[in-house]
Amino acid sequence: MRRLVLALLASMSLMTASHAAEPTAPVPAEARTPLSELGKNDPYLWMEEIEGTRAMDWARAQNGKTLPVLQGDARYAGLEAQALAILNAKDRVPSVSFTGDGSLRNFWQDATHVRGLWRTTTLDSYRTAEPVWETILDIDALSKAESANWVFKGASCLPPEETRCLITLSDGGKDAVTVREFDTTTKSFVAGGFTLPEGKQDYSWLDRDTLLVGREWEPGQVTKSGYAYVLKTVKRGQPLSAAQEVYRGTETDVSVSPFVLRDADGVTQAVIAYRGVTFFESEKHLLTDKGAVKLDLPLKSSIQAYVAGQMVVLLEQDWADKGFKTGDLISFDLAALKAAPTSAKATLVLRPTAKQSVEQVTTTRTRLVVALLDNVKGAARVLTHGAEGWTSQDLALPANSAIGLGSSAETDERLFVTVTGYLTPSTFWLADAGSLKLEQVKASPARFDASTHVVEQFEATSTDGTKIPYFVVRPKGVKYDGSAPTLLYAYGGFQVSMTPGYSGVMGKLWLERGGTYVVANIRGGGEFGPAWHSAGLKENRQKVYDDFFAVSQDLIDRRITSPRRLGIMGGSNGGLLMGVALTQRPELYNAIVVQVPLFDMIRYSQIGAGASWVGEYGDPAIPSERAVIERYDPYSNLKAGQNYPEVFIETSTKDDRVHPAHARKAAARLEALGYPVLYYENIDGGHAASANLAETARRQALEYVYLSRKLMD
């Protein structure tokens, strides 16, 4: 079973409580600053109207200034063509997922199928050099027929047959989606079938004629973060107005979402309501015929899988009175848990070391498979439950790589595994979790000449003495004289791990042209488990930025590069990191690419989905927490007379997660202070800033032209 998509609600940080903690008590209203007072004198509040006429006119005018500069560079056309050729390459290895009958499905985009094809083949055909594919749904044809800008966001198919599917479609890449029932046998949408109008919503099949759905049932019935807090069952043929409520959270929650545990035969074993009380704390409520029963689990924990009668849970806080530690993987006998929800005993499945973390969990028919990080390098372990508890065996996959668990079969023990590295194209393996046999099924072609570069791992020392690992991908013959054009990337938040991975576009457009590429494993991420994330939360946020500056300085001290040749890039939370780097340590960098960023941290909780991230950054409405945020908030810390490099800021109009106002206001304020700034707003594309491969190639070419001008020229 795949890891719960909304694990973001299931907590990803450390808490040393001896029992399942209660939700954090709300701050009294009199101790909070009214939201209307935060940023009320900001002259750019009008930019928060996401598609307001004035804001869109401004964005188009900025594009009109930036694109001629970057696209007018003699290198642009070649870089865009190279990026597009890689992205559209017919010899790309298609990633696939198993279906109930053992066939494989894939979503594919290329120059001919810009919006994409959802298609199927057999395993035997997939093993061949040129598999024979059968189209299930053509998104380009659908968009043309409906005069819509559809972006395919996936399909949820009812097991075990998996012929009835809920197709998720987004207008231009937004998080808000439309859901429609589809029949893969007739290759058509089901007449009179399930339809959920556009909205930010979560759903799951209960049976062929019933869905469990969380959405905005009535106007305004969403949390302050903009997500659902009421779950209802929707019966086939019913209007949404007739849906029956089964669970209700509160407006102050982040969201409430459904989670269904099924066995390998597709039989529902438990239905759970995830109540995200904060971004990292969630109550789990077992939904029964007699109502909801709260499970005795730490708030900072996430349900990962069900296999062999066991419900598997990952702990992101200590559960001391039960004998468990942060990062442990534990399991419950589900039947016993349902019979006695408050007294069932848990069993230890796996305890990572201080340098390890659980990255992924999946199941085959009878096995649990876990992907681990060990000092930011991948490993995979197969665990079997028996009378004596859990036993463990390793899959003998290539070392010093990043390992990803792909789709698994419910009918047997097979699963797909990917192996990749910075200089090693991804290989696709078919593993048998029962026999531990491995078969390399596919290997991605090389997209750039990797023979000229090597990969090294170093450590920098942060301001508090913590060792911060980072990877350097550099030319073999680089001279340690500070002259190497170097791009440093980092994220540093939400327990997201930065692991080695192959990027054909980055390799072609940067490494092959003599560039050095660096990835920093700073705190806030998940490289060393929940504690690594927790170390950078809220009042400790500056540690994340100090880690990044330490890596930057270490690169300079080792003379791998110099401030003249050092550029940085980051997106979303990483875009916030870029803004902090700009305002706190601009002397370290000559280029900064700020992608779909958070930037105005005083108002962040009021725009986009920002209210859901208070657990990460703190609440600006609480004076003590705002005082911490104000010290690093890039927007309010932009000042005249500083030695800021010319930055390149990117965003997307359709981003309904991190609102484009962050990027807009950053660019506007920089210009008002007299600084040159390059700004590009993609009119489509959502939070990924691209709705199709052509737009992705354009964005990447713009970035590498900018970096070339700043660091290579």
Residue closest to 488 by CA, chosen among 558, 561, 573, 583: 561
Q: How far apart are CA 48 and CA 656, in angstroms?
A: 11
Q: Distance from CA of residue 473 to its chain's centroid?
A: 24
CA dist 99 and 121 (Å) reads: 10
Question: For position 645, what pLDDT does the model report?
Answer: 98
Cβ(651)–Cβ(664) below 8 Å: yes
H helix intervals, 634-692? 634-637, 661-672
211 - beta bridge partners? 205, 234
Catalytic residues: 572, 687
Contact 179, 200 (CB under 8 A): no
CA distance 202 to 337: 25
**Nearest to 494, CA basis, from 363, 609, 592, 335:** 609
What is the pLDDT, as a whole number, of residue 13? 29
Helix (H) or strand (E) holding 626: helix 623-632
325 vs 314: CA distance, rounded Å? 10
Distance separating alpha carbons of residues 165 and 97, to the nearest angstrom: 14
Return the sign of the alpha-carbon dihedral for residues 363, 5, 275, 523: positive
Classified as helix, coil or strand, 454 is strand
Please tell me the distance from the alpha carbon of residue 101 to that of residue 629, in angstroms, as a whole number: 52
> Pairing relation of β-strands 210-214 and 230-235?
antiparallel
3-state secondary structure of 341: coil
User: Contact at 8 Å (CB) between 462 and 505?
Assistant: no
* CA count, 13 A, side-chain hemisphere, 428: 18
Segments in the chain below pLDDT 50: 1-24
The crossing angle, in degrees rounded to 10, of helices 541-557 and 623-632 is 20
User: Beta strands of 504-638 (E only): which ranges?
Assistant: 516-520, 566-571, 591-595
> Rounded to the nearest 10 degrees, what angle do helices 661-672 and 573-584 cross at?
20
Structure tokens at 707: 């970096």
CA 275 to chain centre: 20
DSSP single-letter state for residue 324: B
Return the H-helix or E-strand segment holding 693. helix 693-707
And the tokens for 696?
């992705």
**CB-count exposure of residue 335 (10 Å: 0-12, 13-18, 19+):** middle
Kind and range of the H or E run holding 438: strand 438-443
CA nearest to 161, candidates 18, 44, 267: 267
Distance CA 381, CA 311 (A): 18
- The values of phi and psi at residue 442, to 5°, are -140, 155
Strand order in the sheet with 104-108: 97-98, 104-108, 117-121, 134-138
Per-residue confidence (pLDDT) for residue 163, from 0 to 100: 97
Q: Which amino acid is at 11?
A: S
Total Cβ atoms within 10 A of residue 583 = 18
User: Alpha helices, DSSP H only, in 281-348?
Assistant: 334-339
129, exposed or middle or buried, with CB in 10 Å at 0-12, 13-18, 19+?
Answer: exposed
Residue 544 CA to residue 533 CA, distance in Å, equals 9
- Alpha carbons within 13 A on the beta-carbon side of 231: 29
Adjacency order of strands within the sheet including 377-386: 356-363, 367-374, 377-386, 389-394
User: Using CA atoms, how far apart are residues 363 and 408, in angstroms rounded to an integer?
Assistant: 7
Distance CA 434, CA 425 (A): 27
153's CB contacts (< 8 A; 6+ apart) are 168, 169, 170, 177
DSSP alpha helix (H) spans, 460-540 = 504-506, 530-534
**CA gap 487, 519 in Å, rounded:** 9
Taking the C-alpha atoms of residue 585 and residue 577, their distance in angstroms, rounded to an integer, is 11
3-state DSSP percent of the chain in helix, strand and coil, to 5: 25, 30, 40
- Three state DSSP letters for 357-385: EEEEEEECCCEEEEEEEECCEEEEEEEEE
Q: What are phi and psi of 420, to 5 degrees?
A: -150, 165
Instruction: State pLDDT tens for residues 616-660.
Output: 999 999 999 999 999 999 999 999 999 999 999 999 998 878 899
Q: Are strands 164-171 and 150-157 parallel, antiparallel or unpaired?
A: antiparallel
One-letter identity of residue 116: G
Beta-sheet strands, E only, within 88-229 = 97-98, 104-108, 117-121, 134-138, 150-157, 164-171, 177-183, 188-189, 195-199, 202-207, 210-214
Question: How many residues are recorded in the chain?
Answer: 713
From start to end of 236-328, where are the E strands? 244-248, 255-262, 268-276, 282-288, 291-294, 301-307, 310-315
- Cis peptide bond prior to 26, omega within 30° of 0: no
**C-alpha–C-alpha distance, residues 161 and 158, integer Å:** 7
Residue (of 369, 457, 358) closest to 406 by Cα position:
369
Q: Measuring CA to CA, how many Å separate 456 from each of 258, 485, 516?
A: 43, 17, 11
Residue 284 to residue 261: CA distance in whole angstroms: 13
Q: Give the residue carrying structure tokens 């048998």.
A: 432
Q: How far apart are CA 279 and CA 272, in angstroms?
A: 18
Neighbours of 476 (CB within 10 A): 8
